[in-house]
Structure 1
Amino acid sequence: MSRARAALTNVGTFLLSLVLAIFIWMSASQTQDPARTRFIEVPLGFVGIPSNAALVNTDARQTVQIRLEGPDSVLQAVTPEDFTATADLSDIPSGQLTTVDVVVVGRNPAARISFITPEQVDVQLEQQVTREVPVELDLRGTAARGHQQDEPLLDPPSIQVSGPESRVSQLDFALVTVFLNSTAETLVESSQPIFYDQSGRVASVTGLDLSAAEVTVTVPVVESAGFADKLVTVEWTGEPAPGYRLLSVTAVPPSVLVEGRPAQVNQLASVKTEPIDINGLTQSFQQTAVLALPAGITVDPEQTVMVNIEIEPILTTSTFNRVPTLRGLGQAYDATFEPAQVRVILFGPLPALDALAENDIRVSLNLFGLEPGVYSVEPDVDVPDRGIEIRLVQPPAVTVTVVPAEADTATEPDAGITTVAVATITPLGASPVQLPAVCSLSTTRIAYGALADICTRRHVPE
């Protein structure tokens, strides 16, 4: 008896220990991963819609809000894609507003669905129909003067509309609007039509299927009998000034609308202007042209033709040979250079090149600070700033030999001639020429014209 009582006591103790262990484990689990509540929105889908029916008066983008309960770790991982909310429309009648249940199914059973809203939705199905809606044209404005429009073409002439019968049956026509705005040629334009209902009000076609979103309108525009566009031919006389050339002659607009007897208009190839005198001109200009019209041909007096005449200088090259002048040579030195002349090739407007004077082109050799010896010196070329470019200098460097100056010579005072000291500059290969020593000073060549001639050997002193 005592054994049985001891066994029962052991069993009771074991069960109590097991219950306590389970309670402790559940308490620990609850502390580490507590139960939570979370709300989430899921899109509502409609299923079971018959192929010949359409959903009306219902927002097809409805959502369902659901309340979830479960462990925090589970709820944090769920997304709207883990749930499906549907409303089955397979058994509802057509044309009647019907209430159907919303069914929500989740993928993870640990996330328990405790509440959904809305639980039901009101839906209405209607017969799906297709209808041809005619396209009409609202043509505004007129063709240009001397032109007429032919019968417009619409592509497509009607639009096929599919959708619920109650909406499609209300549509009356689709309207496209085109503006001519004095168009002188065939107009082709694509436009989005506006639909109108039976009451003449604008009707929405959102949610309806359209066979075409745009309508292409072609409005043929042709010249009227006795009217035609003719090119303008500009006549001119004379030639630009020497050294200039005629670059272009243009008329704006390039053509004008003429009116006359059809036969005469058809024979007219172009419309000429009265001659414009360009003789001796040196620059471009613009002026209003006077049209020389044959008898019986007229133009709209409001039409004016401007003539643009472009004249520009002839661009060419010219070659000049110059004897270099010496700059900066010390008074104690003489210098010779080879070659004796430097060739300068200039590029620019012909009138500017022809107008260059002898002293407009200056070639000099900078000998400042040079001691006796042989040097290769690059010539300095100075030309006026008249749009002239230096294209070539030959040679690019001149050989200069600097030597000590020879002793000065003088004449007797009673000779009646003022004496000047002279120095000898002998270019290589040339005969020695006695020049005043003052020629070595750069300022002297600028101040005295006659002395400059002597220094540049264009005049030999007696």
Structure 2
Amino acid sequence: MKKSKRFETNERNETKDSGEVAKQIAVETIKDTEKFFQKISSFLKNIWKFLTTPSMLLGVFKFQKLDHVYESFLRNERLMKILALIVAIGFALNVRYSFTMKERYSVDINSYPLVSYYDKERTVVEGLPDTVDITLVGDKSQVDIAKTKANFEIFADLRDLPPGTHKVNLEYSKLGSKLDVKIDPSTIVVTIMPLTEIDKQVQADFVNLDQIDDMYVLSEPQLALDTVKIKGPQTTVDQVASVKAIIDVSDLSKLSDYEAPVFAYDKLGNKLDVEIKPDKLTASVQVTTPSKVVPIEAVVTGNAPDGYSVESVVLTPSEVKLYGETNALEDYEKLQIQVDLYQLDDNNELIVKLEKPENVHKMDTDTVKVKVIFEQTQTKVLENVAVDFKNLDDSYRVKVKDLVDSMMNVTLKGSMTILDSISNDDVKVSIDLFGYKAGEYEVPVAVEAITGVIIQPSQSKVNVIITK
């Protein structure tokens, strides 16, 4: 492909940069030297005219001895050398000041933008600096104008280069015949690689979740597109492990129609320098605050003072509001706290920490004030409480060895306030037959606890017979 006239002119300027400038300075120096000798010649001619005037001739005749002195001066070799030295010094001074007068003005410009020319749709280039340092050389007025306007280019022309690694000379656009440019660096090493393009699935990813209140629940983001195009060098594209649309949730008011920037990452989570189209995706996120109010239940541990039983346990608050995913909240009907009677203060009070359940984001309180009220212990006997047989395999049948063992009496101890509210139906006496086979067994009796009440069945074991 033929280069444009502009680039051909630039090449001629580069060639002239060193040789042409030196040649021009040498020519000007020679001309100045010739002028210097012309001045000396004119000076000597004037002296000759002065010496050959009639008055000077008359003086010579009057003072013929001066002619002898003049001849002696011309024949004196030492004096002639001194005269030659004076002429040489004059010549040197002329050359020195000629260079000084003609010395070119220069100014440095750091970090001047570097322009590059190549097919950006099909190739990518590594090794291109963004800026270079330059020195403008020439007439001061033109240098100052060029520096102020900055209307010239420092460029790298890569359009004719094939894929691979190349050493490239940097060029500059024409600045005029009296201006030159020195570029640092003047050459660069670049690697040209063909571009490849693939489709890649994109996923949404929240950031700054720690900046929003736990009571808020974010829905799954809805992205405008499922895939994006990844474009870059083959070696870089092969490293793409994931593509994510980043959603900043620090401002919840913007999440209904959020413009999420898209980035590509390698398997270590590092961002990759590739082109992504589109590089932003519209994301929609719903913000809700699902909640549920559940009661708090106290589980009393420890023993009451001698002769007393727990009449009631007053909780403040008695219920708690849970925030979280709707399906997670459905798993909770109540929250329990442990009330250790040994930890009560002199007022029979205690502050208990309420543990946040799993999958619950937030609670409206995390502590409960407990007040325990005691009464003198009373006794109550419930007769003929039914015994329940549990967890027996369906292929077996069970019966008690003695019919009287199917019912038993239960003694309750506690405050009368609580005992008066308990009936036979509230007391659960059972026998667990899980894993039992056919045969005759003596099985322990279990009683379901009632808060604040001591329950004592009339029998601790029951004889049963299991058959097929």
Range of TM-score over shorter length: 0.3 to 0.5
Q: TM (normalized to structure 1)?
A: 0.35
Q: TM (normalized to structure 2)?
A: 0.34
- Relative to its length, the structure with more helix (as a share) is 2
